[in-house]
Structure 1
């Protein structure tokens, strides 16, 4: 039975948690490139938060060796990060079972999304069997604070909006409650931004991304394909 799981691992020793703690207003997504030896290359996508505070946080982070800004589109930036520590070096003080940590890399699972939080990681993963998921969750329950948010069978649909980030949900809810979507509109983008204490451009991007996600999950799935 194949499973899809969403969960949080609360451990402040995980890579880039220090960066997320320094710039809590930023949303940080991490991809690991395991074909680069014992120190996998990090591909980091950052939305919200301005570049300079993120750049300073990357420079000062103890677990970052080198970093490069690869590209930017609106408020979204992509960085390539070379870690200064291997996973064993970084987590060895906090995790007794390093052999178990290495075994997780060979498990029948794919972690497709890692969001770095100020106190750990939020992840979405696909697991080939219940045993594979149990092995993964048991390891983190023993070595950190593991909290399961959602577990479904492969192929089961997600409730609309499950794919939104917390910041996107907050932006949508605030804009709705202030009357930004009313006709006539009762609150401007600037007023929503002031309520959230972020820039109008950041609010605009969060709302666009959230609305696009909701359309993809609901309306778009009912449309017939476009003619060639």
Structure 2
């Protein structure tokens, strides 16, 4: 693995113990379908996939993949067929949530080399004052939340991805600013939730079907279902999920 490719593992995803106080919190999307596990998210769009890395396994950390929604068979078939997964093991379940440990089949150089020209630029990111706390894998990239020491550190990070992929900033605030539940939702997710609620989709009995809400939003029913599931998962993670016991390691 090159220094630049190895840097993507280390930068932002591995906590820096010496950095205690951060200045900015950013939520953003990186649209790059070469990123790990994107093929799995594209194959099972109804599932919400959160990725973290296990650093006690040398220079190629294991993937810890937490999946909510989607059938177990569809998710595990997608993991088996993914080019960037060598092997996987289910290590815990809690209701509709399953956790997997996966061995990566590719180095980041092999994974991203066909799409990102500036792999060496990743080495500079490894020294940035930043911590990426959460990675949500989507069908076309990663949605992330990170802490940055100052505006310069964030600019270095965002500029790299703007040059090498597609970077979209969703939210940027000071770390002292409180975040109310729902602020992690995208504009489209908020619109979908609001429209579904106002039309009575969540009432018992329902006053509006999924198809009716989708027609109102001018999107397909499958796209609406994905947006609602991801929005609901985000709200659960921000609220009641913090009170649950952790899944077994």
TM-score (norm 2): 0.71
Task: Identify unmatched segments of 5+ residues in structure 2.
Answer: 1-21, 214-220, 223-227, 242-249
Quick one: higher RCO (CA 8 Å, sep 6+), 1 or 2? 2
Select 1:177's aligned residue among 183, 187, 199: 199
Matches within 5 A, 1:99-138: 99-138=120-159
Matched residue count: 208
> After TM superposition, which residue ranges in structure 1, 4 or more long, deviate above 6 angstroms?
165-169, 191-197, 203-206
Shift of 1:207: 5.7
Select 1:32's aligned residue among 50, 53, 58: 53
RMSD, aligned CA: 3.3
Larger Rg over CA atoms: 1
Shift of 1:206: 7.7
Query: Which residue pairs with 1:71 in the alignment?
Result: 92
Q: Deviations over 1:105-125 (max 9, x none)?
A: 332111011111111111111
Matches within 5 A, 1:66-215: 66-164=87-185, 170=192, 174-175=196-197, 177-178=199-200, 180-181=202-203, 185-187=204-206, 210=235, 213=238
Task: Identify unmatched segments of 5+ residues in structure 1.
Answer: 198-202, 217-228
Check the 8 A contact 2:91/2:100 in 1, yes or no.
yes
Q: Counterparts of 2:40 and 2:100 in 1: how far apart (Å)?
A: 13
